[in-house]
Amino acid sequence: MDAEGFKEFGTEMMNFITEYLEGIRERKVLSSVKPGYLRELIPTEVPEEGEKWQDVMKDLERVIMPGVSHWQHPQFHAYLAAANSYPSIVADMLCGAIACTGFSWITSPACTELEIVMMDWLGKLLELPSKFLSCESNGVGGGVIQGAASEATFVALLAARAQAIRRIKSETGLDDGYIIGKLVAYTSDQSHTSVEKAGRLGGVKMRLLPTDEHLQVTLEVLMNAITEDKSKGLFPFYAVATSGTTNTCAFDDLEVFGDICRQENLWLHVDAAYAGAAFACEEFRYLMKGIDKAHSFNFNPHKWMLTNFDCSAMWVDNAKELEQTFEIDAIYLRHHAQGQVPDYRNWQIPFGRRFRSLKLWFVLRIYGKKAIQEHIRTHIALAHEFEQLLLKDGRFEIVAPVLMGLVCFRLKNRSNEENETLLKTVVERGKIYVVPTKVHGKYAIRFAICSKFTASVDMAIGFQEFSAAASDLFGKM
Amino acid sequence: MDAEGFKEFGTEMMNFITEYLEGIRERKVLSSVKPGYLRELIPTEVPEEGEKWQDVMKDLERVIMPGVSHWQHPQFHAYLAAANSYPSIVADMLCGAIACTGFSWITSPACTELEIVMMDWLGKLLELPSKFLSCESNGVGGGVIQGAASEATFVALLAARAQAIRRIKSETGLDDGYIIGKLVAYTSDQSHTSVEKAGRLGGVKMRLLPTDEHLQVTLEVLMNAITEDKSKGLFPFYAVATSGTTNTCAFDDLEVFGDICRQENLWLHVDAAYAGAAFACEEFRYLMKGIDKAHSFNFNPHKWMLTNFDCSAMWVDNAKELEQTFEIDAIYLRHHAQGQVPDYRNWQIPFGRRFRSLKLWFVLRIYGKKAIQEHIRTHIALAHEFEQLLLKDGRFEIVAPVLMGLVCFRLKNRSNEENETLLKTVVERGKIYVVPTKVHGKYAIRFAICSKFTASVDMAIGFQEFSAAASDLFGKM
């Protein structure tokens, strides 16, 4: 494909994309294809000769779109938001054109340096403690773009593990294998599955601590767990607190986690994958009180800040801990500026990385601070609007405080099975898509505000779906 | 930004991209900026109000381009190829527009199913054993797109570790921590740093075995290492063989690795990150003889198959091993088709994933088999052309067989320091970019064919650079 072919193809794709996104409301939000639908729609092998791009375009509606669940649909209320935006898509085009592999500074200094500065921009936007900013910590701390929050949790765990092994080894002379077998980490039973997974992959125990009525781990529970484990000869070394859980958007008390982790010498990582974006707004920063006591912090601009996946922003207060964990030397990797600049391969699990900071730069500049704040505030206001509709109806109860763009609710005085039937009925009607959770054993429906196209009318539509289905199933009252 | 703004911005970006790529020969291949150059070129914070996209475009040449080392430049001969192509860039636009998060099948069946089928297409293109193809193994084996080869190596190690722990535990009753401390894996001292890193992150010993004059691990060396470790009470469990090392593009003997791994019950992973693409051509498949004995295999279409990063193709002969390692349940993740289809989050480290198979689909269709084979063959022919220029000159020696698009050479009868001076002189002249390696203690220059713009003339240019610099430094003879 030559340059002219690319421009024609790209223009046609932009037409397709704008028609897709601007007309997305007309589509069915959840795909209803059967498993295995796609294989029979396309050939079984790579074609011998190249095909025309026009033939590829023709297949998008035939092959791909029937199997797409539309995350950008205004009535997609499942999981949590997955961002996209036009500036971000254009930035990714440039990223693909430059196609540098930024494993070290020399491979394209702009790739590393724009990332350092964008992470400072983002950190300032959230008013993170200065220890996390490269520009304010003289490069001791700093930010890095990971692929996903799950990677950030795992990266922090691996660095904490390496740190703990070094420390315990020097104090006790025990060997690595023995120490790994005795390491123990802590998180709440409300944490995302990827936190438990990080423990498993790291080969260490990850205790899921029970939560109180606010879905928080209390000081007592955390302290008792640590004391108990120490008395068993285990080595507590790492804790993950969540700011905005996937289940209900609950916030751990970072003061509680922070104080105990400092006292007991545990690495505290804060997973704010979804809700961290809200700290761009002053009025929500009370929820991150205690963040100065954390060693690492992460949130996903690719969830709620208009930036396409993959863009998971992670900060650490001491980058040396990452470098000591991940760095391995090779002659072909050396360069003249080593030591003066980060080589980001040593801040992450994979070796290669692309020029992801371009997305952030484009998005932060073209939207600006005010529009980003407005995007957050709009979603939260919509969630409260939906909450009010439910409460006014009288048949529903809200099972967790609505703090961000997520409403968790259920039919009052109805069993888990009845609530599950309600959810299934609504999803089968096909107008909106939601998934469930459980709160203290009670089945609840999660209604998340996800798309930037979601508006007030969609709260009415969503409410109507639940209200009508509830009436059909259980009568008006 | 509205749809019209996107189209204008995107059109302007396509113009920029085509001018950049079609005119890339005129640029200086290696960036010469000083560390920290970028910070002073841009503001220190996110702007309050959004800026015009035109202002962002204006900054590309001013801020970004001076700091880019041009991987797509025809005289970029460092590291190994990093692919890009116009069809791949267009596919990524669509990926960004759909912006689904494909952690489970239900989140967009097309995202999972196109990946399954594309991995079958790719596996057939390489003539991989049928056990690796989903379509021919009834879904027992199959492929998955990882972000990088380093992740594939680590994923396989984690699955092998889990498998080994289960087995040893059931045989001995030992606990996990003790077993992890005694696990040992094997690879060659020629392997990529990411293999050693996988061992470190997995908390297990990774032995880098010495290689013979062909830069291969011999049967004797591998067998002796395993026997020795077993006699020490260690548990051998995993081996990584490389098909095309980063150092010199050496190929491990997969028959040797395969036979011993089968016999000793080790998981064999084959890392063909760069050279695997060449198996699309029948005449290079002799280099993967023994692949049927491997448990997993990986190569990067984002290196040498015209597909943009990140697209690392990994196959396993038993997907259950991955799923058992990575799967963690949550109520919000359940769906009606579970068990009938892969949920790809359970085949990888991160939780989220994007619709990367679109890139493969576009590239494989728009190029077709013949053009892909021609791309590979052209690069290899160019490498041989460069090799001949060096040999004809008489002053240089080739230090490793030229099998793919990489030529490793040095000045004959000159010290390591003198060869290092030659490399530095050439890189400082700024016409081409190369990095060094060491072969059996001897400093060597790696000259890789990377860009799809690289042509015969660039072999002459590259040779001229070394020839002229050698003459300047050491005289004509």
Residues A339 and A467 both lie in one domain: no
Q: Do A53 and B87 touch (CB under 8 A)?
A: yes
Catalytic residue among B70, B73, B77, B192: B192
First-to-final CA distance of chain B: 63
Q: Would residue B192 show up in a list of annotated catalytic residues for this protein?
A: yes
Q: Is residue A444 part of a domain?
A: yes
- What confidence score (pLDDT) does residue B290 get? 98
- What confidence score (pLDDT) does residue B177 get? 87
CA–CA gap between residue A160 and residue A142 (Å, rounded): 17
Q: For residue A266, what are the contacts with CB-CB under 8 A and spacing of at least 6? A: A160, A186, A226, A236, A237, A238, A239, A260
Token pair, residue A66, equals 């029937």
How big, in percent rounded to 5, are the helix, strand and coil portions of chain A? 55, 15, 35
Residue B39 has pLDDT above 80, yes or no: yes
- What confidence score (pLDDT) does residue B476 get? 73
**CATH, residue B209:** 3.40.640.10
Look up residue B338 and give its DSSP letter.
B
- What confidence score (pLDDT) does residue B477 get? 62
pLDDT digits (tens, 9 = 90+) for A259-290: 999 999 999 999 999 999 999 999 999 999 99
Q: Are B131 and B374 in contact, with CB atoms under 8 Å apart?
A: no
Interface predicted TM-score (ipTM) over 0.90: yes
Q: Are A190 and A254 in contact, with CB atoms under 8 Å apart?
A: no
CA–CA gap between residue A29 and residue A473 (Å, rounded): 23
The mean predicted confidence, pLDDT, of chain B is: 97
Domain boundary among A321, A353, A385: A353
Residues A309 and A395 both lie in one domain: no
- What confidence score (pLDDT) does residue A5 get? 97
Q: Is residue A1 part of a domain?
A: no
A:258-287 residues touching chain B, CB 8 A cutoff? none
Residue A1 is nearest to which of B71, B154, B366, comparing CB atoms? B366
Residues A129 and A213 both lie in one domain: yes
Q: Is residue B15 part of a domain?
A: no
- What confidence score (pLDDT) does residue A477 get? 62
pLDDT digits (tens, 9 = 90+) for A55-86: 999 999 999 999 999 999 999 999 999 999 99
Closest to B256 measured CA to CA, from B292, B290, B209, B228: B290
Residues A126 and A53 both lie in one domain: no
Going through A66-189 in order, the beta strands assigned E by DSSP cover: 142-146, 183-188
Looking at CA atoms only, how far is residue A43 from chain B in angstroms? 9
Q: For residue A207, what are the contacts with CB-CB under 8 A and spacing of at least 6? A: A184, A185, A186, A187, A225, A229
Q: Is residue B368 part of a domain?
A: no
Token pair, residue B341, equals 């289809």
Helix (H) or strand (E) holding B17: helix B3-22
Q: B121: which chain A residues are within 8 Å (Cβ-Cβ)?
A: 44-46
Q: In what order do the strands lie in the sheet with A435-439?
A: A396-398, A406-411, A442-448, A435-439
Average pLDDT value for residue range B330-352: 93
Residues A175 and A235 both lie in one domain: yes
Domain boundary among A299, A318, A353: A353
* Cβ neighbours around A275 below 10 Å, total: 28
Residues A422 and A318 both lie in one domain: no
Question: Is B381 buried (19+), middle (13-18) or exposed (0-12) by CB count in 10 A?
Answer: middle
Q: Is residue B406 part of a domain?
A: no
Q: Do A46 and B125 touch (CB under 8 A)?
A: yes
Q: Are A329 and A315 in contact, with CB atoms under 8 Å apart?
A: no
Residues A322 and A412 both lie in one domain: no
Q: Are A226 and A386 in contact, with CB atoms under 8 Å apart?
A: no
Find the residue in B nearest to A189 (Cα). Answer: B330
Structural domain boundaries, residue A63: 19-83+374-477
Going through A46-155 in order, the beta strands assigned E by DSSP cover: 142-146
Report, as ranges of residue numbers, the positions in chain A whose pLDDT lies below 70: 477
CA–CA gap between residue A459 and residue A407 (Å, rounded): 11
- What confidence score (pLDDT) does residue A476 get? 73
Residues A151 and A60 both lie in one domain: no
Token pair, residue A52, equals 């025309």
Number of folded domains that form chain A: 2
Peptide bond into B310 cis (omega under 30): yes
Question: Is B385 buried (19+), middle (13-18) or exposed (0-12) by CB count in 10 A?
Answer: middle
**CATH, residue A408:** 3.90.1150.10
Residues A470 and A345 both lie in one domain: no
Q: Are A9 and B84 in contact, with CB atoms under 8 Å apart?
A: no
Token pair, residue A63, equals 């092959």
Q: Is residue B430 part of a domain?
A: no
Residues A238 and A349 both lie in one domain: yes
Residues A344 and A412 both lie in one domain: no
Orientation of helix A416-429 relative to helix A456-474, angle to 10°: 120
Q: Are B315 and B296 in contact, with CB atoms under 8 Å apart?
A: yes
Q: Are A188 and A208 in contact, with CB atoms under 8 Å apart?
A: yes
Residue B72 is nearest to which of A35, A99, A113, comparing CB atoms? A99
Domain boundary among A353, A383, A398: A353
Q: Is residue B47 part of a domain?
A: no
Number of helices and strands in chain B (H, E): 15, 11
CA–CA gap between residue B116 and residue B314 (Å, rounded): 11
Residues A72 and A108 both lie in one domain: no
Amino acid found at B286: Y
Token pair, residue B444, equals 């060597």
Find the residue in B nearest to A121 (Cα). Answer: B45
Helix (H) or strand (E) holding A172: helix A149-172
Closest to B61 measured CA to CA, from B23, B5, B10, B11: B23
Q: Is residue A212 part of a domain?
A: yes
Q: Do B108 and A15 touch (CB under 8 A)?
A: no
Going through B226-326 in order, the beta strands assigned E by DSSP cover: 235-242, 267-271, 296-299, 312-316
Question: What Cα–Cα distance (Å) separates residue B23 from each residue in A211, B73, B88, B290, B471?
Answer: 60, 9, 19, 43, 31
